[in-house]
Structure 1
Amino acid sequence: MSETNKRVLFINDVGFQYGAGLAQLRQIQSFLLMGYDVAALCWSSGDNVESRIPFTPVEGTGNWLGITSLVYLCQESGVSSENIVNLVVCEADFLCPDLIIIGNIHGAKWPTILVSALEKLDCPVITYMHDCYWFTGRCAYTGNCTRYNIGCNHECPTWQDYPVLEPQLIFDEWLLRRKMFCGEQGMPLVTDSHWLKQEAENALLGVKKIDCIYYGLDADLFKPVERSFARKILGIPEDTFVILSGCTNVKDFRKGGHIFQEIIHRLQDNTLFLVFGSQSENLPSVYGTGLLRDYRKMPLIYSAADIFVGTSLEEAFGQTFCEASACSIPIVAFEVGGIPEIARHRKNARLVDEQTSEALINEIEFFRQSPATRQEYGNCGRQIVETEFTLQAQGERWVQYLDTMMT
């Protein structure tokens, strides 16, 4: 697979929307940079804001072949699971891929069996894990539940949460994943962090092929903007201590929004809070930007801040931490999931074990008291990204992985 102009097909549920969708876009960029031709299939790309932004790297020698939405393929429209699988496979076959990478499909409610059905196209099919969905019975994150280790079933305590699945169907889904990925004929899995890889290995006993390939980002786009300029554009006072936070949806409990609101309550008298993401404009006592689909604006937002505070209680990797580091912004966060793999304690971040607002506030105050330390941590974060998390680095990791897989 190291030859140029091989054709890669990405398949997911919502195109380039939201966190995993943006991660897929960045994966596509890295393949284009490496000289591959790339196409994409999804269930729904929404209003396609992200794909209308020119994203092919200037140095890329591959060709972007476009994204196709298959929004008519849903059970709510009366299309059977069997027909969904057959029609997605037909659409994929029409694009003549040499490699298929399938990511999240739970937003589309497409059948899990689609993954193994794609093997009939006689090209490698790799499942990329942006979260825990591919080793549980239905959920993307497990919270405190460990049932997936022994068998998710009708007793699932969160079956009504996204992605919803009727209890009587859950065990079959849990079992199907083990049939697909475990044993001598198991299909390959790739994760976005070593933490997620370890979780999957523990859950999928006998998993055949599993590797970690980190995300990357466009470090020429995500880079520091002069702070006074960024604040002037956003209307933020120059002499104010600014904490930035955000995610796709700030009301998501898993993202720790309730903890962040405790921090706001405690520090609002001497701190300006800048928050991006859906529902952020409705938060009291913050400068909320809403959900910014045009990611080109994000470096300006990061650069206006003194520190980035992440309150995620579960996170497979955390692209916002990578983005903050690329923009030379130090991080305060909980030491959970894959976060320490990009937000490194006492290098570009201060991480805490205790999942409380008080623990985070202590580290916030550590940074507030020392502008020189903020700069030191910020510079280290930028160096980490330039060394390990660029599109080029991501592309090289994929090429090395594919070369190894084909031998």
Structure 2
Amino acid sequence: MPNDFLGHLRNALSDIEGEGLYKRERLIAGAQGGRIELQSAGGNRQVINLCANNYLGLANHPEILAAAKAGLDTFGFGMASVRFICGAQTLHRELEQRIARYLNKDDAILFAACFDANGGIFEPLFGPEDAIISDSLNHASIIDGVRLSKARRYRFANGDMDELEDVLKLAEREGARFKIIVTDGVFSMDGYVANLAAICDLAGRYGALVMVDDCHATGHLGPQGRGTPALTGAGGRVDIVTGTFGKSLGGAMGGFVAAAQPIIDVLRQRSRPYLFSNSLAPAVAAGSLKAIDIAEAADDRRALLASHTVRFRNGLAEAGFELLPGETPIIPVMLHDARRAQDMARELDARGVYVAGFFYPVVPAGKARIRTQMSAALTDADVTLAIDAFKDAGRTLRLIQ
């Protein structure tokens, strides 16, 4: 390997470090939960976890563990193949049909991750004659998936329905054959819910399809946790839903697309991440099936999650922190400067609260933050301790009075 290449990379890493943008991973020495065991030089220590996507607290649920173990015993450890060769089990098909019923769609198709689902959906379905119209704050996986397609690309400012209508008119003037509006259901860095009712109204007016990435909603938002289409009343007007089993629905891994039957059938024939990736491990599929059953009936967990969300948000706002508005369990604490976000994360870590600083390129430059996430795995006492830790750390860093 040429030495100048490695030197180039070392210089790039040094620049990242100098700009205060270097990301360091910490290690959890046990299961995911509201409280976790964090590995440290002085030995493992317990901290309150405010930065997992474990919204319903199912990541270590005993019934899901039992289902995963049973799946392991019956169906084995791994598939060692892609689906269309010899990697499809009855378990995989059962999971596809179950998530489709849960979301009121004809069918679903599994992927190794929702990143792959979003990355593999556009190229098979849309060609150079078509228009993909994407919210400017959509997830990186949508951005990458759109880039892989040959369709014409349009963007509209986050949540700006007037600009969306202008772009729809432009796509029509430019002769688009088919049009699809693509949006996150919940914008993961900000916690905003997309205005799906208005989006679907415009889609109906201009003959466009609607696709929603509902990774940060499926399982915990809307009636029975059916996500933002159900939450916003958009329901059956959303044509395509992509999502994950890696957050509320057990927290393991795996993604899906749920849609009308012809859409799923074409993806099964032509979506490259599906065709060229191993099938989900049987234990993951079995555990995810049980997670859907639990989530569908988990009104008590959703109520606890909502209570934690309101109390934590109110506690930080009253203390003087700058928060982005919203009602989801994602509560961003805006610090704007990357070093300040990392300093705050370290101060909270010292007080037994586990958070992560988010900064460029994960969020725009100057928009650094601590993105906190509530979980039904937390207790009321955990939330109280976390609020107090934020207040103390904020005063230490002179972020609040």
TM-score, normalization: structure 1?
Answer: 0.28
Quick check: which one's helix share is greater? 2
TM-score, normalization: structure 2?
Answer: 0.28
Higher relative contact order (CA 8 A, sep 6+): 2
